[in-house]
Structure 1
Amino acid sequence: MCNIHPRALIGRRTALGGVFGAVTQRVAGHLEASAEPAGARTLAARQRFFGADLIDPETGAVRADQVVLSWVGCTTFALAIGGSVLLLDAWVPRFTSSGYVPATAQDLADLHPEAIFIGHGHFDHAGDAGRIAQACGAVVHGSAEHCAAIRAQVTDPSFPTVELGDADTLIGARHDFTVGNVAVTAIRHLHSAPTAPDRSDPAAPFFPIPDLRAMVTHPPTLDGVLHSLPRLRDQEGGVLLYQFRVPGFTLTWHDSAGPLTEKAPHVFDVLSGLAPTDVQIGAIQGFNQITNGLRDPRRYIESLRPTLFVPSHHDNWLPGVTSQAARYDVPLRTELARLTPAQRPELRTMHDPTDYVRPQRLTFAL
Structure 2
Amino acid sequence: MGSVSELSGRPRSFTRRTLLGGAIGVGLVATAGPSLADPGADVVAARTRFFGAANVDPVTGAVRRDRVILSWFGCTSFAAALGGTVVLLDAWVPRGIHSGYVPTTVAQVGELRPDAIFIGHGHFDHAGDAGALAQVSGAVVFGTAEHCDQIQRQVDAPTFHTVALGDARSTPGETYHHSLGAIEVTAVRHVHSGPKPPDHSDAGSAPFFPVPDLRDAIANPPELCDLVALGSSLSAEEGGSLLYQFRIGGFILTWNDSAGPLAEAGPQVYDVLRGLPASDVHLGAIQGFNQPFNGLRDVRQYIEAIRPGVFVPSHHDNWLPGLTARGDTYQATLQGELDRIPADRRPALRFLSDPGDYLRPDVLTFPL
Q: Would the TM-score normalized by the shorter structure come out above 0.5?
A: yes
For residue 350 of structure 1, what is the amino acid of its counterpart? L
Given that residues 279 and 310 in structure 1 are in contact (C-alpha distance below 8 angstroms), is that contact kept between their aligned partners in structure 2?
yes
Q: For residues 36 and 126 of structure 1, what CA distance do their matches in structure 2 show? A: 28
Partner of 1:112: 113
Given that residues 198 and 204 in structure 2 are in contact (C-alpha distance below 8 angstroms), is that contact kept between their aligned partners in structure 1?
no
Partner of 1:217: 219
Count of matched residue pairs: 332
Pairwise CA distance, 1:38: 2.0
Query: 2:156 matched to 1:191?
Result: no
Given that residues 37 and 60 in structure 1 are in contact (C-alpha distance below 8 angstroms), is that contact kept between their aligned partners in structure 2?
no
Structure 2 counterpart of 1:322, from 317, 324, 345: 324
For residue 271 of structure 2, what is the amino acid of its counterpart? D
Query: 2:60 matched to 1:63?
Result: no
Q: Deviations over 1:287-327 (max 9, x none)?
A: 00000000000000000110000000000000000000000
> RMSD value over aligned CA atoms?
1.0
Using the size of structure 2 for normalisation, the TM-score is 0.89
**Where do residues 42-191 of structure 1 align in structure 2 (5 Å cutoff)?**
42-191=43-192
SS in 2 for 1:342: helix
Pairwise CA distance, 1:37: 5.7
Given that residues 134 and 156 in structure 1 are in contact (C-alpha distance below 8 angstroms), is that contact kept between their aligned partners in structure 2?
no
Structure 2 counterpart of 1:294, from 283, 293, 296: 296
Q: For residues 78 and 277 of structure 2, what CA distance do their matches in structure 1 show? A: 21
Given that residues 312 and 352 in structure 2 are in contact (C-alpha distance below 8 angstroms), is that contact kept between their aligned partners in structure 1?
yes
Q: For residues 357 and 38 of structure 2, what CA distance do their matches in structure 1 show? A: 25
Q: Identity rate of aligned residues, in percent?
A: 58
Q: Deviations over 1:254-313 (max 9, x none)?
A: 000000000110100100111120000000000000000000000000001100000000
Q: Deviations over 1:56-106 (max 9, x none)?
A: 122211111011010000000000002200000000011100000001111
Q: Deviations over 1:182-214 (max 9, x none)?
A: 111100000000000001034110010100001
Using the size of structure 1 for normalisation, the TM-score is 0.89
Given that residues 37 and 112 in structure 1 are in contact (C-alpha distance below 8 angstroms), is that contact kept between their aligned partners in structure 2?
no
Q: For residues 261 and 205 of structure 2, what CA distance do their matches in structure 1 show? A: 13
Structure 1 residues without counterparts, runs of 5 or longer: 1-34
Q: For residues 356 and 167 of structure 1, what CA distance do their matches in structure 2 show? A: 32
Q: For residues 50 and 180 of structure 1, what CA distance do their matches in structure 2 show? A: 20
Query: 2:249 matched to 1:247?
Result: yes
Structure 2 counterpart of 1:341, from 338, 343, 365: 343
Greater mean deviation of Cα atoms: 118-127 or 168-177: 168-177
For residue 228 of structure 2, what is the amino acid of its counterpart? L
Partner of 2:31: none
Pairwise CA distance, 1:129: 0.4
Partner of 1:353: 355
Given that residues 314 and 328 in structure 1 are in contact (C-alpha distance below 8 angstroms), is that contact kept between their aligned partners in structure 2?
yes
Q: For residues 172 and 219 of structure 1, what CA distance do their matches in structure 2 show? A: 42
Structure 1 counterpart of 2:278, from 264, 271, 276: 276
